[in-house]
């Protein structure tokens, strides 16, 4: 069952002060407050390089991520540059490739002894190979992405990755030999009647790789773990295959991988009765909002028939996640394959990942998840 470490603070104050990197950041916890702040970009600004993620990422990258670290109207113009690539997940070609990928990986596990470590041996390859379909680059590129491990900014030991070097090289290759891929499109794109700078192109590419990596890996592993703990839910979907889309939305709500995201106040603001100084940050508590009992009946329960389901797992307002169609395709394809091919999921080894802060402790995905899959 998903945990909600924000219940008491949400009921009493609606906010929670969270210390990060020497800064006390008030986190909005109520669904209505989070959505209102997400729409109010004049008060809660995203025009803050490196400071939208919490903790901030000055030491992890050297460029502003685009379009997420901008406000309208620049955000609107930047977003239009890459939207066509993120819509590729709705095309028959990409849909078929993702479905084939997941079925092939499941077949490989099922024809062996069924034993499989989900995080590294299944979720990571699915995310990495599906990304090549989205970007329209050779699938062989995924071997490099997989070698980076779960996190693109650092390896399992916390050492730096080679992401920026890889992106710069990919842009250079596309410049010398242009094609129909994302990197070629960035080289050819214009913004306000000029070509993109190298930093802008790197900012788009950086977010594309960082934004959907651990989030999709988290979603895949959390869903498989849930079916291992609740086989009756897998059976219920077998009896109602038309409910897969609704089930997917409930999994997105309950297993929100991004606890919160930052906004910067250009001028003094008041949040939860407390003063936020100019330049101070506020956190939009996506995970807390998804468990607000004012909006979701019995939010701690996973209800695969929940409707309506106004979760904020893909954000809200201007910055609604560009990668949402891609994530939905992967989860829908996973559910289809599990329903059709897998009889039961036995949990063999479970190592939960715990997100620790002095203000809260939240189980958030898995460091390791070993299962045995039994074929139908």
The residue among 252, 297, 155, 151 whose CA lies nearest residue 211 is 151
| Strand 261-264, strand 269-271: pairing | unpaired
3-state secondary structure the chain: CCCCCCHHHHHHCCEEEEEECCEEEEEECCHHHHHHHHHCCCCCECCCCCCCCCCCCCCCCCCCCCCCCCCCCHHHHHHHHHHHHHHHHHCHHHHHHHHHHHHHHHHHHHHCCCEEEHHHHHHHHHHHHHHHHHHCCCHHHHHHHHHCCCCCCECCCCCECCHHHHHHHHHHHHHHCCCCCHHHHHHHCECCCCECCHHHHHHHHHHHHHHCHHHHHHHHHHHHHHHHHCHHHHHHHHHCHHHHHHHHHHHHHHCCCCCCEEEECCCCEEECCEEECCCCEEEECHHHHCCCCCCCCCCCCCCCCCCCCCCCCCCCHHHCCCCHHHHHHHHHHHHHHHHHHEEEEEEEEEEEEEEEECCEEEEEEEEEEEEEEEEC
Would you state the pLDDT for residue 49? 96
In the predicted model, what is the mean pLDDT of residues 266-270? 95
The model's pLDDT over 48-96, given as tens digits with 9 standing for 90+, comes to: 999 999 999 998 899 999 999 999 999 999 999 999 999 999 999 999 9
| Confidence tier at 113 by pLDDT (50, 70, 90) | confident
The model's pLDDT over 207-221, given as tens digits with 9 standing for 90+, comes to: 999 988 989 999 999
- Which two tokens mark 165? 């070097």
In the predicted model, what is the mean pLDDT of residues 284-300? 98
Whether the pLDDT of residue 301 is over 70: the answer is yes
The residue among 296, 238, 339 whose CA lies nearest residue 2 is 296
The half-sphere exposure of 29 on its side-chain side, counting CA atoms within 13 A, is 22
Whether the pLDDT of residue 158 is over 80: the answer is no
Largest CA distance in the chain: 61
* Number of C-beta neighbours around residue 175 at 10 A: 14
In the predicted model, what is the mean pLDDT of residues 305-334? 97
Name the residue with higher pLDDT: 173 or 214.
173
CB distance 89 to 136 below 8 Å: no
Would you state the pLDDT for residue 155? 60
Would you state the pLDDT for residue 2? 77
CB distance 263 to 281 below 8 Å: yes
Would you state the pLDDT for residue 241? 87
**Please, what is the average pLDDT of the chain?**
95
The model's pLDDT over 9-40, given as tens digits with 9 standing for 90+, comes to: 999 999 999 999 989 999 999 999 999 999 99
Domains of the chain: 7-155+211-375 (1.10.630.10)
In the predicted model, what is the mean pLDDT of residues 260-277? 94
In the predicted model, what is the mean pLDDT of residues 101-110? 95
In the predicted model, what is the mean pLDDT of residues 256-272? 95
Say what the pTM is: 0.96
CB distance 171 to 198 below 8 Å: yes
Would you state the pLDDT for residue 39? 96
| Confidence tier at 156 by pLDDT (50, 70, 90) | low
Measured CA to CA, the distance from residue 355 to residue 312 in angstroms comes to 20
Q: State the angle between helix axes of 244-254 and 324-341 in degrees (0 to 180), rounded to the nearest 10.
A: 120
In the predicted model, what is the mean pLDDT of residues 131-155? 91
- Which two tokens mark 338? 């599990």
**Rounded-to-10 torsion of CA 313, 100, 348, 218:** -20
Query: What share of the chain has pLDDT > 70, as a percent?
Result: 98
Would you state the pLDDT for residue 3? 82
Would you state the pLDDT for residue 84? 93
Would you state the pLDDT for residue 73? 97
């Amino acid at each position: 069952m998903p945990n909600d470490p924000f219940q008491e603070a949400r009921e009493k104050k609606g906010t929670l002060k969270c210390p990060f990197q020497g800064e006390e950041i008030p986190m909005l916890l109520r669904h209505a407050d989070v959505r209102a702040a997400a729409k109010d970009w004049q008060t809660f600004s995203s025009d803050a390089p490196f400071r939208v993620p919490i903790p901030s990422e000055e030491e992890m990258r050297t460029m502003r991520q685009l379009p997420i670290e901008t406000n309208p109207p620049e955000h609107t113009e930047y977003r239009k540059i890459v939207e066509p690539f993120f819509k590729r997940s709705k095309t028959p070609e990409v849909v078929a490739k993702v479905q084939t990928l997941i079925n092939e990986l499941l077949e490989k596990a099922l024809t062996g002894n069924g034993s499989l470590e989900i995080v590294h041996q299944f979720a990571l390859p699915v995310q990495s190979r599906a990304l090549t379909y989205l970007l329209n680059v050779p699938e062989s590129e995924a071997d490099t992405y997989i070698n980076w491990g779960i996190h693109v900014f650092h390896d399992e030991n916390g050492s730096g990755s080679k992401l920026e070097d890889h992106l710069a090289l990919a842009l250079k290759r596309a410049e010398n030999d242009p094609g129909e891929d994302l990197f070629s499109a960035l080289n050819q794109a214009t913004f306000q009647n000029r070509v993109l700078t190298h930093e802008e192109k790197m900012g788009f590419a950086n977010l594309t790789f960082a934004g959907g990596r651990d989030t999709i890996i988290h979603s895949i592993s959390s869903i498989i773990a849930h079916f291992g703990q609740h086989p009756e839910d897998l059976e219920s979907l077998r009896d109602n295959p038309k409910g897969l889309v609704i089930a997917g939305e409930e999994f997105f709500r309950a297993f929100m991988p991004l606890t919160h995201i930052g906004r910067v106040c250009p001028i003094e603001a008041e949040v939860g009765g407390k003063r936020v100084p100019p330049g101070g940050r506020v956190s939009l508590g996506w995970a807390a909002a998804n468990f607000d009992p004012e909006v979701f009946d019995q939010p701690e329960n996973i209800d695969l028939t929940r409707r309506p389901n106004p979760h904020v797992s893909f954000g809200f307002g201007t910055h609604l996640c560009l990668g949402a169609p891609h994530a939905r395709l992967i989860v829908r394809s996973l559910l289809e394959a599990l329903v059709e091919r897998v009889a039961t999921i036995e949990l063999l080894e479970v190592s939960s990942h715990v997100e620790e802060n002095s203000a809260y402790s939240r189980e958030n995905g898995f460091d390791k998840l070993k299962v045995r899959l039994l074929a139908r």
